[in-house]
Structure 1
Amino acid sequence: MKKYAIDFSHSTIGFSVRHMMVSRIHGTFESYSATLAVTDIEDMLDAQISFSIAVASISTKNFDRDVHLVSQNFFDADLYPKITFISTKVEKIKDKLFALHGDLTIKDITNPVVFNTTYTGNVINSWGQEVHGFHAETQIDRRAFKLVYNTLLETGGVLISDEIDINIELEINPI
């Protein structure tokens, strides 16, 4: 199997959630590590992928909100400092489109998830290095991971939706 490293300056682990049911708040995790190994990067069927994300690296571009998210009210980063993902299976849907199955762990609660994953191509960069791109997305119900903080609004509805969209953009290079 060939191993790959993430180009962190050209990759993003992001999320979005509906706020007050009228807009979306977007955020990223700025610190993470990953292992990626696969025989054929374009086929992906035997891919072994794992991620470890530092919860305290969350950024929504609002300091007070970020502090709240890492507090005991939400992620409780002091007690649960990492979010992890370990792949369990890859299914080819069609050319360059895959279903990446795996176990997502947040607050020591593990649930299966499926990322709709697209191989976006490869190039040789200006330094002669092989570069491959991927886009992956899924939606989780935050309550399944005991992320239950919320506030009822006077106008009806809630402050934060239960559904969280996760979007990942990766550029990787062979090691």
Structure 2
Amino acid sequence: MPVTTWNIDSAHSSVLFTARHMVVARVHGRFERMTGVLRVDADLPTQGEVEMSAEAASIYTGAAERDTHLRSADFLDVEAAPHITFKSTKTEPTGGSGFRLLGELTIRNVTKPVVFEARHAATSKDPWGNTRLLYTARAAINRSDYGIRWNKTLDNGGWLVGERVEIELDIQAVPAT
């Protein structure tokens, strides 16, 4: 099968993140608006290219005051950098349905290389007979690498917000029309 273009189905896909809060607790969040395309041969689903973008202002953690702060210049600076983007540069099969997805992640207009540990979860038909490619991927970044340095020292010597941010993608893609 030839390489074809697939659109990320944003209604059935997610861009999630987790960060430490006060050293031991974890805060979970997501970006509610995202788009993207894959260029993949459905017969070789662990090889191909991906480009995706999340609207930085669509960040949601379940706490309105925290979300407002995360949109500010202290964190994502959504006025100056409205999108978080990822563009793949290479795939490396790791066996079976697994692969490494290497690429460039841009946050706050700072671009750094990142490696996602990814898996082709399935190729499936939906109830209407449309083919879907399903993927999962995980990576961890250091937020200060992207200029996100705001923090507060705690009485115990730890930090209010952890430096490491875990990213998890659940992607469903449908053929572009």
Q: Secondary structure at the match of 2:46?
A: coil
Which deviates further from its counterpart, 87-96 or 33-42? 33-42
Task: Quote the offset at 1:174 in angstroms.
Answer: 1.6
Q: Confirm or deny that 1:58 pairs with 2:39.
A: no
- Uncovered stretches (5+) of structure 1, i.e. residues with no partner: none
Map of 2:32 onto structure 1:
30
Structure 2 residue 56 is matched with structure 1 residue 85: no
The number of residue pairs the alignment matches comes to: 174
> What residue ranges of structure 2 are gaps of 5+ in the alignment?
none
- Cα 1:42–1:130, aligned 2, differ >3 Å: closer, same or farther? same
8 A contact 2:45–2:120 mirrored in 1: no
Q: Tell me how large the CA RMSD over aligned residues is.
A: 1.1
Q: In structure 2, what is the Cα distance between the partners aligned to 1:74 and 1:82?
A: 13
What is the aligned counterpart of 1:14 among 13, 16, 21? 16
Quick check: 2:10–2:35 contact (8 Å CA) kept in 1?
no
- The percent of aligned pairs where both chains have the same amino acid is 34
Task: Report if the CA contact (8 A) 1:42-1:119 is conserved.
Answer: no
Q: Does 1:158 align with 2:145?
A: no
AA in 2 matched with 1:72: A
Q: Shift of the alpha carbon at 1:53?
A: 1.3
Distance (whole Å) between structure 2 residues aligned to residue 21 and residue 115 of structure 1: 25
Greater than 2 Å deviation, 4+ residue runs: 39-45
Label 1:135 to 1:152 Cα distance change in 2 as closer, same or farther (>3 A): same
